[in-house]
Amino acid sequence: MRRWKYMGEQVLDHGYVSLVETWGSDKTIIESARMSTGKGFLGWGPMHKTDCPRRQMLGSGVRVACDCKEPGDEKLLAYLYKHHHTTPFEMAGATFEIQAPIFVFREWHRHRTQSYNEMSARYIPLPDISYMPTIERLQMEGGANKQAQGSGKVTNAIATNFQSDLEEFYITVERIYQEALRNGIPKELARLVLPVSRYSRMRASANLLNWIRFLRLRAAPNAQWEIQQYANQVSIQLEQKFPRTMHLFLEEQDEHGRTS
């Protein structure tokens, strides 16, 4: 089986999520929100007396600190987020490269606020890599996800047999696929035999607001387990670049978990 080089953090057996680039920052969100007042970014707090925006200057130019000690711009960031003033969060964003089974992409592409460009089997053959669920995954209970609920009677033997059947199926599919390509069948038709478990690659780009909307749905307990793993990795990598905004998102998720 040919392997693809992992470009980022591994997800599932052969997938990955890699952060390609970001634009903007938590600070950019504040600056965008304050365009209406012209104040700009004042700083993360709590502010010390010497950097309070209300400090005054004497005629001699000596700076006199006022007596206030205020929260910094994280207070505004939280207000914007919690009261759904969403436009400033559109001023930052990120692009990811993702390697995932096609069935994961079919769910992912329902988020039409993202921009996509996926590897095309019309132009190049897809490498021989398909998703193989683990025994534990095959025995997993559905929980909040009704679509994932099985009979609850998946023994180790049943799960192992399913894996074996899948492996045999993948070998047969690859043989038919490669034979079709060798015989001159157009790539766009030879791919008809490929299952949705075959891995593909894409780049996905969106502003931060729409990444958060994606995470609300795909990191939720009722999402399919496989796409949850990708959403969780997207969240981790966004947190490295937008720590304050993502902290608010994670707080929101915790609160939803306590009240749902």
| Domain extent at residue 100 | 9-25+92-259
Whether residue 35 is predicted with pLDDT greater than 60 in this model: the reply is yes
Contact 51, 43 (CB under 8 A): yes
- The confidence score (pLDDT) of residue 67 equals 52
| Structure tokens that stand for 35 in this block | 């365009």
- Domain for residue 31, yes or no? no
What are the pLDDT digits (tens) for 179-216?
A: 999 999 999 999 999 999 999 999 999 999 999 999 99
What are the pLDDT digits (tens) for 93-141?
A: 999 999 999 999 999 999 999 999 999 999 998 889 999 999 999 998 7
- The confidence score (pLDDT) of residue 52 equals 52
Q: Residue 200 belongs to a domain with what CATH number?
A: 3.30.1360.170
Which whole number is the average pLDDT over 17-34? 96
Whether residue 258 is predicted with pLDDT greater than 60 in this model: the reply is no
- Domain for residue 19, yes or no? yes
In this prediction the pTM is 0.85
For residue 71, cis peptide bond before it (omega within 30 degrees of 0): no
- Domain for residue 73, yes or no? no
In sequence order, the 6+-apart residues with CB closer than 8 A to the CB of 119 are: 126, 200, 201, 202
- Domain for residue 43, yes or no? no
What are the pLDDT digits (tens) for 41-96?
A: 888 886 544 455 544 444 444 444 555 556 789 999 999 999 999 999 999 999 99
Q: How confident is the model at residue 142 (pLDDT cuts 50, 70, 90)?
A: low
| 224 CB neighbour count, 10 Å cutoff | 14
Q: Report which of residues 215 and 255 the model is more confident about.
A: 215
Q: Report which of residues 259 and 140 the model is more confident about.
A: 140
- The tally of domains found in the chain comes to 1
Whether residue 27 is predicted with pLDDT greater than 60 in this model: the reply is yes
Buried-state track 10-41, b at ≥16 Cβ within 10 A, e below 16? ebbebbbbbbeebebbbbbbbbbbbeeeeeeb
- Domain for residue 41, yes or no? no
Whether residue 154 is predicted with pLDDT greater than 80 in this model: the reply is yes
- The confidence score (pLDDT) of residue 58 equals 40
Q: How far is CA 87 from CA 31, 39, 81, 94, in A?
A: 12, 18, 10, 16
Whether residue 178 is predicted with pLDDT greater than 90 in this model: the reply is yes
- Domain for residue 17, yes or no? yes
d(CA 221, CA 225): 8
Contact 20, 95 (CB under 8 A): yes
- The confidence score (pLDDT) of residue 1 equals 40
Residue of 191, 198, 201, 218 marked catalytic: 218
The C-alpha R_g of the chain, in whole angstroms, comes to 25
Q: Report which of residues 125 and 237 the model is more confident about.
A: 237
- The confidence score (pLDDT) of residue 151 equals 59
Contact 96, 22 (CB under 8 A): no
d(CA 214, CA 258): 21
Is 218 a known active-site residue? yes
- Domain for residue 4, yes or no? no
Give the CB-side neighbour count of residue 56, counting CA atoms within 13 A.
5
- Domain for residue 50, yes or no? no
